[in-house]
Amino acid sequence: MLDSGQGLTGVTTEELVDLLRLIHRGQLPCPIKASELMAMGLNKVAYQAALLVGLDRQAATAVLVAVIAERRR
């Protein structure tokens, strides 16, 4: 079962950057589906980044950019 209770705390910054890169390259279809993440071998991300599931490209990009920026601040 997917868990969004932890937000993105269980996902490393590098994994978030990779997700953002996949979205920008069009390699991760949006809205994001857990099954797509798992099919790409991103099972850990699928479970620990459940709050991204269902977001369209604009929303997913906004969340990822904000979290990455906050962590790098």
Q: Is residue 6 domain-resident?
A: no
The number of distinct structural domains making up the chain is 1
Distance CA 2, CA 61 (A): 20
Are the C-beta atoms of residues 55 and 10 closer than 8 Å to each other? no
Q: Is residue 24 domain-resident?
A: yes
Quick: pLDDT tens for 5-43: 578 988 999 999 999 999 999 999 999 999 999 999 999
Quick: pLDDT tens for 35-64: 999 999 999 888 888 889 999 999 999 999
Q: Which residues contact 22 (CB under 8 A, 6 or more apart)?
A: 28, 40
* Domain housing 29: 13-72
Query: What is the reported pTM?
Result: 0.87
Q: Is residue 2 domain-resident?
A: no
Distance CA 41, CA 18 (A): 13
